[in-house]
Amino acid sequence: MTDRPLPAAQDVTALLLDTDTLDEFLQALAQRALELAPAADGCGVTMERRGRPVTVSSAGASATKLDEAQYGQDDGPCLQAMRTGLTVDVPDTLSEKRWGGYPAYAAACGARSSLSLPIAPYTHTAGALNLYAPVPYAFADADLTSLRLLAAQATGAIELAQRIADAQQFTADLQTALKSRTVIDQAMGVLMGQQRCTAEEAFQILRTASQHRNTKLRDLCAELITGITGRRPSDDELRPRR
């Protein structure tokens, strides 16, 4: 591989500003990586979600199935890049001896070489940018400096985008809570008495529990009140207020 000067157009911050959601940004990131590696026909962005790797975005036709094959055996170049924080190059899948049966599968799918670059290593948003090509040694002359910088800049951008997404979700949760405040107020009162905490702390406890259980906040609160009183809250208490 060779290092070349960074093109002026390389600007992850601009990608972030030009997109409205984290998903849109990740899609733009995958597309930008393909532009920097013309020999590649697919790019996937792997992120760890709730302790499991997930392809959160992809460009081109080949990336998703190759990423998922690695997740299935819990091993492969993209997972190695994500876990070690190191770039992982696969010059030719037909001669590759690492990662068990994955290289043979990749070759059978038409992927003869790949390049995985770490994103946000050693953080809770750790991931990898995974490029796949139909020919061997496709990345020997790739613009490695720009690709590495793309992944490095994505580290901060993804962290910022995730914070924005979390803030938007918090706002949505709060708006829902205000519309359904009767049953939520009751649940908060119970927690404040049990935990001897403030109203804000009680709401945060409920919100975190609803996220972990993938349950609507109103339904979680109704379940809590039912468990304590033996009576499910009335329709009036559950009905969103306008």
Residue 64 has a CB neighbour count (10 Å cut-off) of: 14
Lowest model confidence (mean pLDDT) among 40-44, 96-100, 156-160? 156-160
**Is residue 2's pLDDT more than 50?**
no
What's the distance, CA 199 to chain centroid?
Answer: 31
- Any idea which fold 12-165 has? Beta-Lactamase (3.30.450)
Contact 125, 159 (CB under 8 A): yes
All structural domains of the chain with their residue ranges: 12-165, 180-238
Averaged pLDDT of the chain: 82
Task: Provide the 3-class DSSP secondary structure of residue 149.
Answer: helix
Task: Please give the class, per CATH, of domain 180-238.
Answer: mainly alpha
> How many residues would you count in the chain?
242
Distance CA 224, CA 66 (A): 43
For 40-44, the CB contacts below 8 A with 24+ separation are 40/115, 40/131, 40/132, 40/133, 40/138, 40/139, 41/132, 41/133, 41/134, 42/66, 42/111, 42/131, 42/132, 43/129, 43/130, 43/131, 43/132, 44/78, 44/129, 44/130, 44/132
Under the banding of pLDDT at 50, 70 and 90, the label for residue 6 is very low
Lowest model confidence (mean pLDDT) among 5-9, 212-216, 237-241? 5-9
- Which of the two residues, 30 and 160, has the higher pLDDT score? 30
pLDDT digits (tens, 9 = 90+) for 25-57: 788 888 888 989 999 999 999 988 777 888 888
pLDDT digits (tens, 9 = 90+) for 173-193: 666 655 556 788 888 888 888
